[in-house]
Structure 1
Amino acid sequence: MGKEVLYGVVPGILIFLLFLGVNITPFLLFGAVLGGIFFLMARQGNMAALSARGKSSRHAVPKSTITFADIGGQERAKKELKEALDFLIHKEKIEQYGIRPIKGVLLTGPPGTGKTLMAKAAANYTDSAFVAASGSQFIEMYVGVGAQRIRDLFKEVRTLAEKNGQDSGIIFIDEIDVIGGKREGQQQREYDQTLNQLLTEMDGITTSDKPRILVIAATNRKDMLDSALLRPGRFDRHITVDLPDKTAREQILTIHTAKKPLAADVSLEQIAQETFGFSGAQLESVANEAAIYAMRENAPAIARRHFSQAVDKVMMGEKVDREASADEKRRVAMHELGHAIASEWVRPGSVSQVTLSPRGQALGYVRQNPMEDRYLYTREALEKQIMVCLAGAVAEEIYYGGRSTGSKNDFEQALGMAQEIVQSGMSRLGIVNMKLVDRHQVHEEVNRLLEELLEKTREVLKRHDAVFQAGVGILLEQEVLHGHTFRELLTTNKHANELAV
């Protein structure tokens, strides 16, 4: 109400003075100065409010119930982290050996692999005060706010540990690449001040500190971090939390299905084998989505088909309402059967199912069952996988005389693997430096590889016309062709070809 009165009275007084012939210029100057003072005071108040909001956004995390036993797989990463945590627990022993305490642990790896879970388990393992923050919380438009928040974070964990009577505290900073990026003269001053303050605080951690502080940080982009953060004496340990292997995937599925009713036909080992490349978060989603599918049907237990649907959803997305024409459906069926035939030819038993129902951006897809986890590839293995990628387009050429836009993603994958053959020194060019070799020469070699494999794939598919015809009929009628049924078609076709010969 006071502001409204002020806004109404002041202009009225000025107009009255002007009517009397009084020079109002000094009054206007005085008002401008007074307004500037009020503006600066308001801005300082806003900065204080921002700082206060920053403090309230960082809070002590309640005592974690998560233990390392609750994290499936990652045995090597857990062992390394536990060793670093033991320095917080066994203070006398590290002093006996003259060991400098580890100040920081950097957890790196793809999203969803359990980096945050490991930090929470670390706090429980050491009975430490635990304070968590995200890198984005330290960034504001006002210079100095981020640095102040770093100071407050270290102060907060010390205060919390003293309050709870704990001997140690853990600070967890997620997305540390936001504030710890490489300084190349292009960053804002705010980023530099925040990073410098973090380095200063970590340098101040000593053996005699009470409570002892350990900084755990997580990032998906270690290559983006400044070298000052990564040197010994700051983040001493770099622990890779990688995608789980088959054994670890089975452990993760066991943990996430422990309280779920599973049908007798469910094999977690089989599901683990089919989910190569899945992160822990994706596997948790598979278990959850399978339970949702079972609930939709009001089924007494989660069956194998529910897990199959869940894997498809996590991998490809939910089913969509797009309805393709009859001609498009037939073309997609031929395309996917081409992939499936090539996959079975190069890796018998690899096809789990062929599906004609649209999911995400795909009108159909083949779900393959990796026979084993692979991390190294020979030229032969890459060429076989390229053939699988090319087989969809080749099937369209055989039965429709040309290709469609549905092969775009297949070609991108095939090109990537062909380039990998060249870059790895497995082509006719030999061992090459990609920065020095002529690009046209590389392009020609990649094209030569792809043309040879296209022709080889064409020869394979032409021998399976009966499989195409029978498989298309099943897909158009049922939309799904299961792996065992598909292999029966291949066996029948093989016997027919042998009799013809």
Structure 2
Amino acid sequence: MPRWTKEVLIGFLPVLIIFLAFIGINVVPLLFAAILIGVLLVVANKRGGLAVGAAADRKRKKNSMSKLTFEEIGGQDNAKEELREALDFLNRYDEVQKFGIRPLKGILLTGPPGTGKTLMAKAASQYTDSVFVAAAGSEFVEMYVGVGAGRVRDLFRDARSRAAKENKKSAIIFIDEIDVIGGKREGGQQREYDQTLNQLLTEMDGIYSSESPRILIIAATNRKEMLDSALLRPGRFDRHIQVDLPDKKGRKHILQLHAKNKPITEALDMDKIAEESYGFSGAQLESVMNEAAIYMMREHKQEIEQRHISMAIDKVMMGEKTDRESTLEEKRRVAIHELGHAIMAEVVRPGSVSQVALSPRGQALGYVRHNPQEEQYLYTKSFLEEQIMIALGGAASEEIYYGGRSTGSSNDFEQALNIVQTMMKSGLTSLGIVNIEMVTTEELMRENNVILEALMSRTRDVLEQHRNVFDQSLDILLREETLSGNQFRCLFSESSLLPA
């Protein structure tokens, strides 16, 4: 409609209503009707604008998506192999049909944030030469009833039309954060989320009602336990692939990929970096290499050195250094606290200390960085007890030197409590094999106190036997504010030879 027509109508309608009222006609019903029509037009325009915006966003995502392959994704060898096998059903559709195999309808990628789930979905479209349509769960959530369900229909329609337009035999629809719309349905009042989920289930049921183009749904979530059972059953999301944090080999591969476009010294030891970055996700490893390059640039260097990487790992793990000024007495207390952690770690895990530092980072006034000796996924009772003793080492050393603890031990106690809870769930305490939910709070607290008090006593005894290490290391740590792992071990060995 031309703009001048709208302006004429807007000017004419009020005059008409005033004229009708002047000649004695009841205009109240007309006013209500005009307001209702106006509201409906506004809502329709908004929905149309949102749909156009969502389509434009998807188009931008498609245009900006680089041709990513599985070889460019570091680590996750098992997850990639499992995903490739599932995608082969799409690539070899005719051969699969001969064996009576029903192609998969949906693949669910689960795992911690930053492990590469979205990257794997993009690589899947390249591997199968499919149209790639991406959306986030939050895009389907609106306050208006039916909007989410409509967007699900639009998403599938868009995938089919684009596949036909680009002469592709298949299309991959990727839904990130699917837990937003796929959460467990509860009885009672019908929610907008439920209508959106119902529409998604309906669309997935009808995927193979027409053979071309073939549609595959790939979804990602960090919270699989929150998803509705109807979504997880076979025939919907047929295959669940766990995308875990990378192991040492995977971390090294990821670091090498992100180091390709950066100037790196030949002396850089990637194996050592992979060890130091234990528990890091792919996203964190990318950030480590980026921060290392920033540190290099700050120092006007031409190549990234090992210390730049170590500084970057500290930053990603604990945050940037702060300008917080501590008193000499507070600094001394922090040094004793951190040395307590380091000494306990060196006693129970020889060679595990990577660095002892007093420089404040984030909320911490000091810290000890540990090097894990090897990748480990199963833990014994003695191993967990030793981990608790390392966590309690700071508080125990404060008790030895000051006769009491400080608030600096709060995070250590939280870590110790979490380990005790793991022991209880695993049947490694005197409670035996129990369902934690069936044990009273009083029993849990009693067992918790018995374990922690016994381990605190053992920790104090060990630290008392190594007082010489405190005496030898304290002044150096206060002066230099940092002790490398090798430097600390030299002091530890020399002090241990001295008479107590």
Aligned 1:61-460 pairs, distance under 5 A: 61-62=62-63, 64-185=66-187, 188-206=190-208, 209-460=211-462
The more displaced of 405-414 and 204-213 is 204-213
- Residue of structure 2 in register with 1:483 after alignment: 485
Q: Is the contact between residue 143 and residue 190 of structure 1 (CA under 8 Å) also seen in structure 2?
A: yes
- Residue of structure 2 in register with 1:57 after alignment: 57
Q: Match of 2:200, as an amino acid?
A: L
Q: Match of 1:209, as an amino acid?
A: E
- Pairwise CA distance, 1:419: 2.5
The more displaced of 135-144 and 333-342 is 135-144
Q: Is the contact between residue 51 and residue 145 of structure 1 (CA under 8 Å) also seen in structure 2?
A: no
Q: Match of 1:372, as an amino acid?
A: E
Aligned pair 1:471/2:499, yes or no?
Answer: no
Aligned pair 1:42/2:8, yes or no?
Answer: no
The more displaced of 24-33 and 439-448 is 24-33
- Pairwise CA distance, 1:25: 8.4
Q: Match of 1:397, as an amino acid?
A: E
Q: Is the contact between residue 469 and residue 496 of structure 2 (CA under 8 Å) also seen in structure 1?
A: no
The more displaced of 202-211 and 388-397 is 202-211
Q: Match of 1:411, as an amino acid?
A: F
Q: Is the contact between residue 133 and residue 173 of structure 2 (CA under 8 Å) also seen in structure 1?
A: yes
Q: Is the contact between residue 17 and residue 27 of structure 2 (CA under 8 Å) also seen in structure 1?
A: no
Query: Counterpart of 2:313 in 1: which secondary structure?
Result: helix
Q: Match of 2:479, as an amino acid?
A: E
Distance 1:367 1:281 in 2: 20
Query: Counterpart of 1:131 in 2: which secondary structure?
Result: strand
Q: Match of 2:230, as an amino acid?
A: A
Distance 1:351 1:456 in 2: 20
Distance 1:221 1:423 in 2: 21
Q: Is the contact between residue 424 and residue 436 of structure 2 (CA under 8 Å) also seen in structure 1?
A: no
Query: Counterpart of 2:308 in 1: which secondary structure?
Result: helix
Where does the alignment leave 5 or more consecutive residues of structure 1 unmatched? none
Distance 2:156 2:39 in 1: 33
Q: Match of 1:325, as an amino acid?
A: T
Where does the alignment leave 5 or more consecutive residues of structure 2 unmatched? none
TM-score (norm 2): 0.93
Q: Is the contact between residue 468 and residue 496 of structure 2 (CA under 8 Å) also seen in structure 1?
A: no
Distance 1:343 1:325 in 2: 27
- Over aligned residues, Cα RMSD in angstroms? 2.4
* 1:58-104 per-position Cα deviation (integer Å, ceiling 9, x unaligned): 33613642111111111111111111111111122101111111111
Q: For the structure 1 residues 471 and 85, does the alpha-carbon distance in structure 2 shift closer, same or farther, using more than 3 Å as the test?
A: same
Q: For the structure 1 residues 31 and 206, does the alpha-carbon distance in structure 2 shift closer, same or farther, using more than 3 Å as the test?
A: closer
Distance 2:355 2:198 in 1: 54
Q: For the structure 1 residues 389 and 304, does the alpha-carbon distance in structure 2 shift closer, same or farther, using more than 3 Å as the test?
A: same
Q: Is the contact between residue 342 and residue 391 of structure 1 (CA under 8 Å) also seen in structure 2?
A: yes
Q: For the structure 1 residues 10 and 132, does the alpha-carbon distance in structure 2 shift closer, same or farther, using more than 3 Å as the test?
A: same
Q: For the structure 1 residues 10 and 472, does the alpha-carbon distance in structure 2 shift closer, same or farther, using more than 3 Å as the test?
A: farther
TM-score (norm 1): 0.93
